[in-house]
Structure 1
Amino acid sequence: MSLAMFTLDGDRLVPAEIARSMWKHDQMHGVAVSGALARALELRLVELGRTDLHPARYTVDLFQPATMAPCTVETEVVREGKRICLIDASLMQEGVRVARASCIFLLATETPKGDVWSPVDRPKPPPENLVPPSDEPRVPHFISDSPWSQSFPDHQNSGRKQTWQAGLPVVDGEEGTPFQSVASIADGTSMVVNWGTEGVKFINTDITLALARPPVSREIGLSVTDRVEYDGIAVGTVEVFDRAGPLGTAMVTALANAARPIDFGDVEFEDDGSRKPAE
């Protein structure tokens, strides 16, 4: 069974069941929205013939809930130069723009000489004997006050969280790319920074992903680095990494949504995307 988040109908993207949000039944989750936008941006770069450029800064504004209705993505090249290309994208449903994204693609060159500070301690993927390297989609792994596992109830605690997962294909029949994977998984920043003892009670309004290099595969990790909350507004950041080391950072701004929390304390997930009550 395909675990892709969309099927193609002409130029329209039709959301699959796995794209459905847990916030509301007729709402698409941000992982799918971000994946669709990233795919369109990457395809537009390929159309320009600029395979020499790498995604460096990707920003998504989630200003209106995307529904489970078919959608299209429109793109615009804002600026193209020798070492930079800026492309915008808009996710459209029934003629209304419900989300937008912007990506700066940059040309990799040489690292200048000299020493500059960087952290020594970096997050690491789960051990390979627990999670063998694979781009095949599966239930995400987490570590918190509890050790690495795929059991969501085990991680419904106040501990600092880290996740490791492989990106879902964006469109059925397409393998997906490392950039599409990291862009979609970056929406999970809100989950790992805002997940506490009573579930997730904040919903993110944006995603900002900064990458120093492309991922080596579709396996991506997020490790919480900071969270600040005042009066129902939370800002959270994570370090983004893969099996080759650090990639960059991701940040989200989120609003309190306590009236409709997502409670992971009594649910487990299967690799096919289905849910079942926790044992």
Structure 2
Amino acid sequence: MTNIAFFEPISATGRPDEGLRYRPTTFAASLWAPGTLNGPAVCGLAARAVEAEFGNDEFVPARCTIDLFKAARDIVTSTRVRLVRSGGRIRVVDVDVVQHPDGADEVVVARGTTVFLRTSTNPPGQRWQRPADAVTFRAPEIIADDDLSPRFASDAADDTVGEWEKDMANHQNGHRKRMWSRAAPIVAGEKLTPFQRAVVSAESASLVSNWGSTGIGFINCDLTVALSRLPSGERVGVEADVHIEDDGVSVSNAGLYDAEGMFGTALVTAVNNAAAQIDFTTVDTSERYREA
């Protein structure tokens, strides 16, 4: 995946550099509207900035919330981070995703807060967890490293778990959905960290939860990722778990999985965007590695 990334690093003057600013690539393009960026790209850039500045092996990024309150455009983008709190067991970091239009003032298009918690041991006692026989997510069989195509599955009409396959069009229905994907790198020349992989993958909670029988007509305006641990391996699974909708607003929660099991959840709120609804029976996503 050396030639795949959401952004290329540039300096403030436009020269290739280690990257104070970033230029979006075609892989960051959104299906919602021309000239805009997709959620995984924006959320990934925010997560990368927070971890690069304040990540620590003694702390796990237990919660990452990103508000996507303005459509990000296909223009030069940067991030700003600031430490809000640094304590013995908790560290809180804020981030802004900033865009730089030519000849105009900068624009903040997203902001986020990440809470890092110090790792230790679990307290004594027993607590409820979902029984193993009630878990419905099962990762696909071994997939070749160079196979970048995400896999999709949806429940059958009798609520049994359906088979994994590549064709999205076969899963445009009103049933529960799940996906298994290898996230794209955020910045060219860099490998994803487990935290970055979790956030980029978790943004697909909106896809698997808001995608229905006629396509996806809800667009998420935020993402909250909660992690008890970081994922292992190159691929992450996202499975719709809760979805409610009323009066043009939806709330969805999805489970996050690696090959070892569940490691977190993703929560999204979304608003009606039916005017730009995406119909996956007519959109060809096979030409590019996008929204995965």
TM-score in terms of structure 2 length? 0.88
**Offset from partner CA, 1:250-271 (integer Å, 9 cap, x none):** 1100001111101101234337
Give the number of equivalent residue pairs.
269
Aligned to 1:31: 40
CA contact (8 A) 2:28 2:290 kept: no
2:83 to 74, 77, 81: 77
Aligned to 1:169: 185
1:86 to 75, 92, 108: 92
Q: Give how far 1:124 is off.
A: 3.3
SS where residue 221 of structure 1 aligns? Answer: strand
CA contact (8 A) 2:96 2:108 kept: yes
Equivalents in 2 of 1:78, 1:274: separation in Å? Answer: 33
* Structure 2 counterparts to residues 80-229 of structure 1, below 5 A: 80-94=86-100, 95-120=106-131, 121-129=134-142, 131-132=143-144, 134=145, 138-144=148-154, 145=156, 146-229=162-245
Q: Give how far 1:220 is off.
A: 0.8
SS where residue 108 of structure 2 aligns? Answer: strand
List 4+ stretches of structure 1 deviating above 4 A. none
**Offset from partner CA, 1:50-99 (integer Å, 9 cap, x none):** 32111100000000000010100000000111211111100001211110
Letter of the aligned partner of 1:30 in structure 2?
G
**Offset from partner CA, 1:201-248 (integer Å, 9 cap, x none):** 000010011000111133111111111100000001111111111111
Aligned to 2:281: 265
SS where residue 171 of structure 1 aligns? Answer: coil
Gaps of 5+ in 2: 12-19, 101-105, 157-161
Gaps of 5+ in 1: none
Aligned to 2:256: 240
Aligned to 1:66: 72
Equivalents in 2 of 1:274, 1:234: separation in Å? Answer: 23
Q: Give how far 1:186 is off.
A: 1.4
Equivalents in 1 of 2:147, 2:216: separation in Å? Answer: 23
CA contact (8 A) 1:137 1:165 kept: no
TM-score in terms of structure 1 length? 0.92
Of 148-157 and 264-273, the range deviating more from structure 2: 264-273
SS where residue 259 of structure 1 aligns? Answer: helix
CA contact (8 A) 1:3 1:168 kept: yes
Distance 1:137 1:268, change over 3 A: same
Q: Give how far 1:127 is off.
A: 3.0
Q: Give how far 1:138 is off.
A: 1.5
Letter of the aligned partner of 1:9 in structure 2?
I
Letter of the aligned partner of 1:109 in structure 2?
S
Letter of the aligned partner of 1:128 in structure 2?
E
Letter of the aligned partner of 1:105 in structure 2?
F
Of 193-202 and 215-224, the range deviating more from structure 2: 215-224
Letter of the aligned partner of 2:149 in structure 1?
V
Q: Give how far 1:272 is off.
A: 4.5
Equivalents in 1 of 2:223, 2:194: separation in Å? Answer: 17
Q: Give how far 1:41 is off.
A: 0.5
Of 15-24 and 108-117, the range deviating more from structure 2: 108-117
Equivalents in 1 of 2:289, 2:114: separation in Å? Answer: 29
Aligned to 1:19: 28
CA contact (8 A) 1:240 1:246 kept: yes
Letter of the aligned partner of 2:80 in structure 1?
E
Q: Alignment identity in percent?
A: 35
Letter of the aligned partner of 2:82 in structure 1?
E
Distance 1:4 1:274, change over 3 A: closer
Aligned to 1:51: 57
Of 209-218 and 30-39, the range deviating more from structure 2: 209-218
Output the aligned Cα RMSD: 1.7
Distance 1:2 1:173, change over 3 A: same
Aligned to 2:3: 2
Equivalents in 2 of 1:119, 1:222: separation in Å? Answer: 16
